Protein backbone atom coordinates (compact mmCIF):
# COMPACT_ATOMS: atom_id res chain seq x y z
CA UNK A 1 0.00 0.00 0.00
CA UNK A 2 1.49 3.29 -1.09
CA UNK A 3 -0.44 5.18 1.58
CA UNK A 4 0.79 4.19 5.03
CA UNK A 5 -2.62 4.88 6.60
CA UNK A 6 -6.04 3.29 6.03
CA UNK A 7 -8.45 6.17 6.60
CA UNK A 8 -10.78 5.64 3.64
CA UNK A 9 -11.57 3.10 0.95
CA UNK A 10 -10.05 5.72 -1.37
CA UNK A 11 -6.64 4.89 0.13
CA UNK A 12 -6.73 1.54 -1.71
CA UNK A 13 -6.42 0.64 -5.38
CA UNK A 14 -8.37 -2.29 -6.82
CA UNK A 15 -5.22 -4.42 -6.91
CA UNK A 16 -4.45 -3.56 -3.29
CA UNK A 17 -7.94 -4.66 -2.29
CA UNK A 18 -7.44 -8.03 -3.96
CA UNK A 19 -3.98 -8.38 -2.42
CA UNK A 20 -5.42 -7.64 1.00
CA UNK A 21 -8.15 -10.24 0.45
CA UNK A 22 -5.53 -12.82 -0.52
CA UNK A 23 -3.59 -12.08 2.66
CA UNK A 24 -6.78 -12.35 4.73
CA UNK A 25 -7.56 -15.72 3.15
CA UNK A 26 -4.05 -16.96 3.88
CA UNK A 27 -4.21 -15.82 7.51
CA UNK A 28 -7.68 -17.31 7.94
CA UNK A 29 -6.50 -20.66 6.59
CA UNK A 30 -3.50 -20.66 8.93
CA UNK A 31 -5.72 -19.81 11.89
CA UNK A 32 -8.25 -22.52 11.05
CA UNK A 33 -5.42 -25.08 10.83
CA UNK A 34 -3.97 -23.78 14.13
CA UNK A 35 -0.68 -23.02 12.39
CA UNK A 36 1.25 -20.21 14.14
CA UNK A 37 1.55 -17.06 12.01
CA UNK A 38 3.29 -14.55 14.24
CA UNK A 39 3.95 -12.08 11.44
CA UNK A 40 3.96 -9.09 13.80
CA UNK A 41 6.11 -10.49 16.60
CA UNK A 42 6.97 -7.74 19.07
CA UNK A 43 4.73 -5.09 17.46
CA UNK A 44 2.26 -2.98 19.41
CA UNK A 45 -1.19 -1.60 18.58
CA UNK A 46 -2.88 1.38 20.24
CA UNK A 47 -6.69 1.10 20.20
CA UNK A 48 -8.38 4.45 20.77
CA UNK A 49 -12.13 4.29 21.41
CA UNK A 50 -14.50 7.24 21.67
CA UNK A 51 -17.35 4.85 20.81
CA UNK A 52 -17.65 1.44 22.51
CA UNK A 53 -17.67 -1.72 20.40
CA UNK A 54 -17.79 -5.50 20.69
CA UNK A 55 -16.49 -6.55 17.26
CA UNK A 56 -13.91 -3.81 16.66
CA UNK A 57 -12.21 -4.23 20.02
CA UNK A 58 -12.33 -8.03 20.07
CA UNK A 59 -11.09 -8.56 16.52
CA UNK A 60 -8.24 -6.05 16.62
CA UNK A 61 -7.08 -7.15 20.07
CA UNK A 62 -7.27 -10.87 19.28
CA UNK A 63 -5.83 -10.24 15.82
CA UNK A 64 -2.63 -8.51 16.96
CA UNK A 65 -2.21 -11.22 19.64
CA UNK A 66 -2.50 -14.03 17.08
CA UNK A 67 0.06 -12.21 14.93
CA UNK A 68 2.51 -12.15 17.84
CA UNK A 69 1.99 -8.56 18.95
CA UNK A 70 0.21 -6.78 21.77
CA UNK A 71 -2.61 -4.22 22.02
CA UNK A 72 -3.37 -1.50 24.55
CA UNK A 73 -7.03 -0.48 24.83
CA UNK A 74 -7.90 3.14 25.59
CA UNK A 75 -11.55 3.43 26.58
CA UNK A 76 -13.58 6.58 25.86
CA UNK A 77 -12.65 8.47 29.05
CA UNK A 78 -8.95 7.52 29.14
CA UNK A 79 -7.72 10.10 26.65
CA UNK A 80 -10.61 12.53 26.00
CA UNK A 81 -9.24 13.52 22.61
CA UNK A 82 -9.17 17.26 22.06
CA UNK A 83 -10.24 17.96 25.66
CA UNK A 84 -7.49 16.75 27.95
CA UNK A 85 -4.91 17.36 25.24
CA UNK A 86 -4.93 17.98 21.51
CA UNK A 87 -5.41 15.19 19.01
CA UNK A 88 -2.04 16.13 17.46
CA UNK A 89 -0.25 15.76 20.81
CA UNK A 90 -1.86 12.37 21.37
CA UNK A 91 -0.55 11.24 17.96
CA UNK A 92 2.95 12.57 18.68
CA UNK A 93 3.03 10.59 21.94
CA UNK A 94 1.64 7.38 20.53
CA UNK A 95 3.97 7.28 17.53
CA UNK A 96 6.85 7.01 20.04
CA UNK A 97 5.37 3.96 21.78
CA UNK A 98 3.28 2.06 19.23
CA UNK A 99 3.75 0.59 15.77
CA UNK A 100 0.08 1.00 14.78
CA UNK A 101 -2.82 3.18 15.88
CA UNK A 102 -6.43 2.13 15.39
CA UNK A 103 -9.15 4.64 16.26
CA UNK A 104 -12.93 4.34 16.56
CA UNK A 105 -14.07 7.92 16.90
CA UNK A 106 -16.92 10.35 16.29
CA UNK A 107 -15.51 12.55 13.52
CA UNK A 108 -13.50 12.03 10.38
CA UNK A 109 -11.46 15.10 11.30
CA UNK A 110 -10.13 13.29 14.38
CA UNK A 111 -8.98 10.39 12.19
CA UNK A 112 -7.32 12.79 9.74
CA UNK A 113 -5.58 14.78 12.48
CA UNK A 114 -4.19 11.63 14.07
CA UNK A 115 -2.83 10.49 10.69
CA UNK A 116 -1.39 13.90 9.81
CA UNK A 117 0.60 13.89 13.06
CA UNK A 118 1.67 10.25 13.21
CA UNK A 119 4.71 8.60 11.68
CA UNK A 120 3.15 5.17 12.24
CA UNK A 121 0.10 3.82 10.35
CA UNK A 122 -3.34 4.92 11.50
CA UNK A 123 -6.38 2.71 10.84
CA UNK A 124 -9.89 4.13 10.72
CA UNK A 125 -11.88 1.71 12.89
CA UNK A 126 -14.99 3.85 12.35
CA UNK A 127 -15.90 7.54 12.11
CA UNK A 128 -18.93 9.52 11.02
CA UNK A 129 -17.88 9.48 7.36
CA UNK A 130 -16.58 5.95 6.69
CA UNK A 131 -16.10 2.45 8.09
CA UNK A 132 -13.48 0.97 5.73
CA UNK A 133 -12.66 -2.09 7.86
CA UNK A 134 -16.32 -3.13 7.79
CA UNK A 135 -16.71 -2.66 4.03
CA UNK A 136 -13.54 -4.62 3.28
CA UNK A 137 -14.75 -7.43 5.52
CA UNK A 138 -18.14 -7.44 3.83
CA UNK A 139 -16.82 -7.80 0.30
CA UNK A 140 -14.27 -10.39 1.41
CA UNK A 141 -17.19 -12.36 2.86
CA UNK A 142 -19.24 -12.00 -0.32
CA UNK A 143 -16.26 -13.19 -2.36
CA UNK A 144 -15.98 -16.27 -0.13
CA UNK A 145 -19.63 -17.16 -0.76
CA UNK A 146 -19.98 -16.10 -4.39
CA UNK A 147 -16.42 -16.42 -5.74
CA UNK A 148 -16.63 -13.29 -7.88
CA UNK A 149 -17.60 -9.72 -7.04
CA UNK A 150 -17.69 -8.13 -10.49
CA UNK A 151 -21.22 -8.00 -11.84
CA UNK A 152 -22.86 -8.77 -8.49
CA UNK A 153 -25.34 -6.35 -6.91
CA UNK A 154 -25.37 -5.30 -3.28
CA UNK A 155 -28.54 -3.55 -2.06
CA UNK A 156 -28.11 -1.50 1.10
CA UNK A 157 -31.49 -0.84 2.71
CA UNK A 158 -31.55 1.96 5.27
CA UNK A 159 -29.59 5.08 6.15
CA UNK A 160 -27.02 6.60 3.78
CA UNK A 161 -24.44 6.43 6.56
CA UNK A 162 -20.73 5.74 7.06
CA UNK A 163 -21.05 2.02 6.27
CA UNK A 164 -23.05 2.81 3.12
CA UNK A 165 -20.35 5.31 2.07
CA UNK A 166 -17.52 2.78 2.36
CA UNK A 167 -19.53 0.04 0.69
CA UNK A 168 -20.46 2.34 -2.19
CA UNK A 169 -16.83 3.30 -2.79
CA UNK A 170 -15.56 -0.27 -2.51
CA UNK A 171 -18.26 -1.77 -4.74
CA UNK A 172 -17.42 0.79 -7.40
CA UNK A 173 -13.72 -0.03 -7.05
CA UNK A 174 -14.16 -3.78 -7.59
CA UNK A 175 -16.78 -3.51 -10.35
CA UNK A 176 -19.77 -4.46 -8.21
CA UNK A 177 -23.17 -2.78 -8.59
CA UNK A 178 -24.46 -0.89 -5.55
CA UNK A 179 -28.08 0.00 -4.82
CA UNK A 180 -29.08 2.16 -1.86
CA UNK A 181 -32.66 2.54 -0.66
CA UNK A 182 -33.17 5.24 1.97
CA UNK A 183 -35.92 7.60 3.13
CA UNK A 184 -35.98 11.13 1.70
CA UNK A 185 -33.52 13.31 3.58
CA UNK A 186 -31.29 10.39 4.57
CA UNK A 187 -29.34 10.07 1.32
CA UNK A 188 -25.55 9.55 1.35
CA UNK A 189 -23.04 12.41 1.26
CA UNK A 190 -23.14 13.90 -2.28
CA UNK A 191 -19.33 14.13 -2.36
CA UNK A 192 -19.03 10.41 -1.65
CA UNK A 193 -21.58 9.66 -4.36
CA UNK A 194 -19.58 11.75 -6.86
CA UNK A 195 -16.36 9.96 -5.93
CA UNK A 196 -18.02 6.56 -6.27
CA UNK A 197 -19.56 7.48 -9.64
CA UNK A 198 -16.16 8.57 -10.93
CA UNK A 199 -14.64 5.24 -9.87
CA UNK A 200 -17.60 3.29 -11.29
CA UNK A 201 -17.18 4.96 -14.68
CA UNK A 202 -13.76 3.32 -14.94
CA UNK A 203 -14.74 -0.12 -13.61
CA UNK A 204 -18.13 -0.53 -15.26
CA UNK A 205 -20.17 -0.82 -12.07
CA UNK A 206 -23.52 0.90 -11.59
CA UNK A 207 -24.69 2.95 -8.59
CA UNK A 208 -28.30 3.73 -7.81
CA UNK A 209 -29.83 5.71 -4.93
CA UNK A 210 -33.60 5.57 -4.46
CA UNK A 211 -36.34 5.95 -1.87
CA UNK A 212 -37.89 2.67 -3.04
CA UNK A 213 -36.63 -0.41 -1.14
CA UNK A 214 -38.44 -2.87 -3.40
CA UNK A 215 -36.90 -1.41 -6.56
CA UNK A 216 -33.42 -1.56 -5.02
CA UNK A 217 -33.89 -5.11 -3.69
CA UNK A 218 -35.16 -6.61 -6.97
CA UNK A 219 -32.69 -9.17 -8.31
CA UNK A 220 -29.96 -8.18 -5.83
CA UNK A 221 -27.35 -10.75 -4.83
CA UNK A 222 -26.98 -9.28 -1.34
CA UNK A 223 -29.39 -7.42 0.93
CA UNK A 224 -27.60 -5.38 3.60
CA UNK A 225 -29.06 -3.87 6.78
CA UNK A 226 -27.67 -1.51 9.41
CA UNK A 227 -29.19 0.05 12.51
CA UNK A 228 -31.58 2.96 12.03
CA UNK A 229 -30.28 4.82 15.10
CA UNK A 230 -26.50 4.96 15.50
CA UNK A 231 -24.54 6.09 18.55
CA UNK A 232 -24.89 9.85 18.87
CA UNK A 233 -28.34 9.86 17.22
CA UNK A 234 -30.34 8.86 20.29
CA UNK A 235 -32.26 12.17 20.31
CA UNK A 236 -33.58 11.31 16.84
CA UNK A 237 -34.61 7.77 17.76
CA UNK A 238 -38.37 8.27 17.94
CA UNK A 239 -38.56 9.98 14.54
CA UNK A 240 -36.12 7.61 12.87
CA UNK A 241 -37.99 4.48 13.99
CA UNK A 242 -41.13 5.79 12.27
CA UNK A 243 -39.43 7.11 9.13
CA UNK A 244 -37.39 3.95 8.49
CA UNK A 245 -40.20 1.43 9.09
CA UNK A 246 -40.73 0.75 5.34
CA UNK A 247 -36.98 -0.06 5.04
CA UNK A 248 -36.99 -3.20 7.16
CA UNK A 249 -35.36 -6.29 5.65
CA UNK A 250 -37.96 -9.01 6.16
CA UNK A 251 -38.96 -12.12 4.25
CA UNK A 252 -41.28 -10.12 2.01
CA UNK A 253 -38.46 -7.84 0.86
CA UNK A 254 -36.01 -10.75 0.59
CA UNK A 255 -38.41 -12.45 -1.83
CA UNK A 256 -37.72 -9.66 -4.34
CA UNK A 257 -33.98 -10.38 -4.33
CA UNK A 258 -32.19 -13.11 -6.30
CA UNK A 259 -33.35 -16.56 -5.11
CA UNK A 260 -29.84 -17.31 -3.83
CA UNK A 261 -29.32 -13.86 -2.32
CA UNK A 262 -27.39 -13.49 0.90
CA UNK A 263 -28.36 -11.29 3.84
CA UNK A 264 -25.79 -9.17 5.67
CA UNK A 265 -25.75 -6.87 8.71
CA UNK A 266 -22.71 -5.16 10.22
CA UNK A 267 -24.10 -5.62 13.77
CA UNK A 268 -25.21 -4.91 16.42
CA UNK A 269 -28.69 -5.73 15.13
CA UNK A 270 -31.88 -4.28 16.54
CA UNK A 271 -34.04 -7.28 15.78
CA UNK A 272 -37.57 -6.38 14.83
CA UNK A 273 -36.49 -2.95 13.60
CA UNK A 274 -34.14 -2.94 10.57
CA UNK A 275 -34.23 -6.74 10.24
CA UNK A 276 -36.45 -9.57 11.41
CA UNK A 277 -35.42 -12.68 13.34
CA UNK A 278 -36.68 -14.83 10.48
CA UNK A 279 -34.21 -13.25 8.05
CA UNK A 280 -31.13 -12.74 10.23
CA UNK A 281 -31.37 -16.32 11.52
CA UNK A 282 -32.43 -17.77 8.16
CA UNK A 283 -30.49 -19.97 5.78
CA UNK A 284 -29.58 -17.02 3.51
CA UNK A 285 -27.94 -15.04 6.30
CA UNK A 286 -24.15 -14.72 6.38
CA UNK A 287 -24.17 -12.15 9.18
CA UNK A 288 -21.99 -14.11 11.57
CA UNK A 289 -19.55 -15.01 8.80
CA UNK A 290 -19.11 -11.23 8.48
CA UNK A 291 -18.47 -10.93 12.20
CA UNK A 292 -15.83 -13.67 12.11
CA UNK A 293 -14.14 -12.22 9.06
CA UNK A 294 -13.53 -8.88 10.77
CA UNK A 295 -10.73 -10.76 12.56
CA UNK A 296 -9.07 -12.09 9.42
CA UNK A 297 -9.40 -8.96 7.30
CA UNK A 298 -8.14 -6.64 10.04
CA UNK A 299 -5.17 -8.92 10.60
CA UNK A 300 -4.44 -8.58 6.88
CA UNK A 301 -4.75 -4.79 7.15
CA UNK A 302 -2.24 -4.65 10.01
CA UNK A 303 0.22 -6.96 8.27
CA UNK A 304 -0.07 -5.06 4.98
CA UNK A 305 0.40 -1.64 6.57
CA UNK A 306 3.45 -2.69 8.55
CA UNK A 307 4.97 -4.55 5.60
CA UNK A 308 4.75 -1.27 3.66
CA UNK A 309 6.61 0.69 6.36
CA UNK A 310 10.33 1.34 5.76
131 part of the active site: yes
Supply angle C-alpha 194, 198, 203, rounded to 5. 140
Q: Round the CA-based radius of gyration of the chain to a whole number and report it.
A: 19
Catalytic-role residue among 266, 284, 290, 296: 266
The catalytic position among 43, 127, 226, 265 is: 226
* CA–CA distance, 71 with 100 (Å, rounded to integer): 9
Assess whether 226 carries a catalytic annotation.
yes
Catalytic residue among 134, 143, 248, 298: 134
Residue 262 bears catalytic tag: no
- Three-class secondary structure of residue 100 per DSSP: strand
- d(CA 309, CA 23) in angstroms, rounded, equals 17
- What whole-number distance in Å separates Cα of residue 240 and Cα of residue 64? 37
Is the dihedral angle over the CA atoms 201, 203, 209, 213 positive or is it negative?
A: positive
What is the C-alpha to C-alpha distance for residues 31 and 13, in angstroms, rounded to an integer?
A: 27
Which one of 182, 294, 296, 298 is the catalytic residue?
294
Active-site hit among 5, 55, 57, 131: 131
**In whole angstroms, what is the distance from residue 265 CA to residue 281 CA?**
11
> DSSP secondary structure string, 123-188?
EEEE-SS--HHHHHHHHHHHHHHHS--TT-EEEEES---HHHHHHHHHHHHHT-EEEEE--TT-PP
Catalytic residue, chosen from 43, 104, 152, 165, is: 104
Active site residue 112: no
| Residue 266: active-site member | yes
Distance CA 213, CA 157 (A): 6
Instruction: Assess whether 134 carries a catalytic annotation.
Output: yes
Which residue numbers are catalytic?
104, 131, 134, 226, 266, 294
Amino acid sequence: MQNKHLLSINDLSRSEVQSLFATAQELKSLRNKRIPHRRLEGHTLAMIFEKPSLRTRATFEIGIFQLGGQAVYFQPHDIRLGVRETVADVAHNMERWFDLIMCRVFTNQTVRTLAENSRVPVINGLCDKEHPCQALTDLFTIQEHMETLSGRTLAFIGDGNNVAHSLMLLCAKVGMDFNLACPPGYEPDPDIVMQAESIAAATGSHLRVSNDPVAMAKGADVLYADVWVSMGQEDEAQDRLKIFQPYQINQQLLNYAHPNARVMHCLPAHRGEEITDEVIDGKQSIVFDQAENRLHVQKAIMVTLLDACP
